[in-house]
């Protein structure tokens, strides 16, 4: 049972973890980059589990490949709109004011 729960959390973590973290710290992430990251992260976990390469827990390569996918697909596609950048900058300013 613990193995199944671990596998499920690896899938969730690899699919959504990089998207959540990068959406907070990088204004260049796009919708297509986020979608690609989620799909790549989940697919990596599924494939890695089947082959058990290097005995490495699936979330680690899933997180790495999802992050790379987010960067690549965000750079290749359209840039974030001005509205999106404005929202990001507003949130960043609010965070900085609370942090001080």
For residue 22, the model assigns a pLDDT of 96
CA-nearest of 27, 46, 37, 38 to 92 is 27
pLDDT at 42: 96
pLDDT for 8: 87
pTM of the model: 0.86
Walking along the chain (100 residues) 10 residues at a time, the average pLDDT comes out as 84 95 94 97 94 87 97 92 90 86
Q: Where exactly are the structural domains of the chain? A: 2-24+48-99
3-state secondary structure of 60: helix
Cα–Cα separations (whole angstroms), residue 81 to 39, 54, 67: 23, 41, 21
């Amino acid at each position: 049972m613990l193995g199944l729960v671990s596998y499920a959390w690896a899938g969730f973590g690899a699919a959504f973890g990089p998207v959540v973290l990068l959406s907070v710290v990088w204004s260049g992430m796009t919708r297509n980059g986020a979608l690609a990251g989620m799909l790549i992260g989940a697919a990596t976990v599924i494939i890695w589990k089947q082959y058990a390469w290097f005995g490495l827990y699936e979330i680690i390569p899933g997180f790495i490949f999802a992050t790379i996918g987010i960067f690549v697909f965000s750079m290749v596609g359209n840039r974030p709109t001005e509205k999106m950048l404005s929202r990001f900058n507003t949130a960043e300013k609010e965070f900085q004011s609370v942090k001080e």
